[in-house]
Amino acid sequence: MAIRDIILYPDDVLQKECEPVDEIDDSIRELVDDMIETMYHARGIGLAAPQIGVLKRITVIDPTAGEEEDNLHVFINPEIIEAEGRITWEEGCLSIPGVYENVDRAARIKVRALDRNGDPFEIEASDLLSVCIQHEIDHLDGVLFLEHLSRLKRRIVLKKYKKHLKRIEQADEEEGQH
């Protein structure tokens, strides 16, 4: 297992639609393991393959960020087959660090996907898990949570993001001087 670099906005790869996985072999399982390791290392609750530069329809999600056992979900070629209700949840993104904003999503969803062994399954999700799945499937479609915001909110969030990146850059420079 390896920790991969997370691609940051505005990299073009984040806005590309991913290809379905045709065959689940050892290389795909290794990719899934790397994604899990990367997500936990970054203290995230979800990660989609394009966030590490791989344009495949794969996402890993753990709404507890590894705090509780048996909450890790692997979705290969996921598709939402039912959605109902509305929920607003504060979202962030490992590819847009340091900013969070409320996003409206479906409150409950039903998803069909393949697991890491290629076995099909369906899962019903609500609340945070539902939000995570929808956020990650958006990544697979080349959509960022920013696109669910009004133009004004998007501008405010991007301004915060640029300030956050500048602070990181300054901290790195200072660290390099010591």
Q: How confident is the chain (178 residues) per 10-residue block, as mean pLDDT? A: 95 98 97 98 97 98 92 97 98 96 98 97 97 98 97 96 92 80
Structure confidence by residue, pLDDT tens digits, 64-101: 998 998 899 999 999 999 999 999 999 999 999 999 99
Query: Residue holding tokens 């791989």?
Result: 54
According to the model, what pLDDT value does residue 177 have?
Answer: 75
User: Considering the chain, what is the average pLDDT of its residues?
Assistant: 96
Q: How far apart are CA 107 and CA 90, in angstroms?
A: 13
Let me know if 169 is a catalytic residue. no
Give the N- to C-terminal CA distance of the chain in Å, as an integer: 32
CATH superfamily of 12-177: Peptide deformylase (3.90.45.10)
pTM of the predicted model, to two decimals?
0.94
Percent of all residues in the chain with a pLDDT value above 70, rounded to a whole number: 99
Identify the active-site residue in 136, 147, 169, 173. Answer: 136
Structure confidence by residue, pLDDT tens digits, 110-124: 999 999 999 999 999
Q: Are strands 108-114 and 120-126 parallel, antiparallel or unpaired?
A: antiparallel
Question: How many other C-beta atoms lie within 10 A of the C-beta of residue 31?
Answer: 21
Which residue(s) pair with 58 in the sheet?
76
Q: Name the nearest CA neighbour of 8 among 171, 146, 172.
A: 146
